[in-house]
Amino acid sequence: MTNGFTRLTEQFLVHIGVERGLATATVTAYESDIAKYIDWLETRGIHEPDAITKQDVEDYIAALDQAGESARSKARRLASIHEFHRFALGQHAVTADVSAAVKAPKGASTLPDVLTVDEVTRLLDTAAVGGSTDPVVLRDKALLEFMYATGCRVSEATGTNLDDIDLDEHIARLMGKGSKQRLVPLGSYACRAITAYLNAGRGELERRSSAKIPERRALFLNKRGKRISRQSVWEIVKATGERAGITKPLHPHTLRHSFATHLIQGGADVRTVQELLGHASVTTTQIYTHVSPEALIETYLTAHPRAR
């Protein structure tokens, strides 16, 4: 990366990381996307931000297509480029945002993987393994119930502390992207599972720790008494899904997608679901309104005065 881009890129990363407060992983993703974009521009002899044209941006997206990148990946990279160019315009490094008119490739807005209510029930019942009192089983049951009850991200589940849970009030506090907190309800199933885990599971896991100072804060612990990791959550979800006989693609975000979809199907409005998910924009949440056309048709037939 040459000096023409170096200073602007450094300022951009400070802007999104410090001023906007985006999560470290998000900043890292932006940094990677922009670095690859600039490397490609420099192979075309472009070494200054104001030398980039709309055609260059379009050609870069086309190059990603030729490289076999998925529509979703291309859309994410273009989103990073849009942010970078908007920032460059705000810093007066360029006289126009040449990326503004470049649209995401078709097919980028793919519907998320979603479980039916019956499949979620099967998954959560399987996690209990017939009422076992094994601390790991109790933890897995509580973890999965918590994730489906709150629609949390995997990082929010692993980051939840004991003092973030109020079982009397059925409330959980989640720390979302950009260190933004939100309160979400905890249903009765989740509260019962977490109570069972706290009464007969977490203490045993904490005692298994070899550390001089045990983990006192984290809600969910691994088998060695440490705060559970994202990778462990992935493995728990996958293993439980296999035991439950679920053949759909299954990952922690599947529970989040299912949470949102089931709320929309149950009559929740998009703005409420947006708040529960911690989405900055309602546009992100609106994808869930397209998952179940049957529910939309039913609502239309019920509500429209001349539908029947």
pLDDT for 117-141, tens place per residue?
Answer: 999 999 999 998 877 889 999 999 9
**Catalytic position from the list 74, 256, 257, 262:** 256
Q: Is 170 considered catalytic here?
A: no
Give pLDDT tens digits for 261-295: 999 888 888 889 999 999 887 777 877 776 555 55
Map out the domains of the chain with their CATH numbers. Answer: 4-91 (1.10.150.130), 117-303 (1.10.443.10)
Q: Is 148 considered catalytic here?
A: no
Q: Is 279 considered catalytic here?
A: yes
**Catalytic position from the list 153, 202, 226, 262:** 153
Gap between the Cα atoms of 240 and 259, Å rounded: 18
DSSP conformational letter for 288: G
Q: Is 256 considered catalytic here?
A: yes
Q: Is 290 considered catalytic here?
A: no
**Catalytic position from the list 36, 54, 177, 192:** 177
Q: Is 30 considered catalytic here?
A: no
pTM: 0.64
Gap between the Cα atoms of 68 and 55, Å rounded: 20
CA dihedral 173, 176, 181, 185 (to 10 degrees): -40
Gap between the Cα atoms of 147 and 189, Å rounded: 12
Give pLDDT tens digits for 206-252: 998 888 888 899 999 999 999 999 999 999 999 999 999 999 889 99
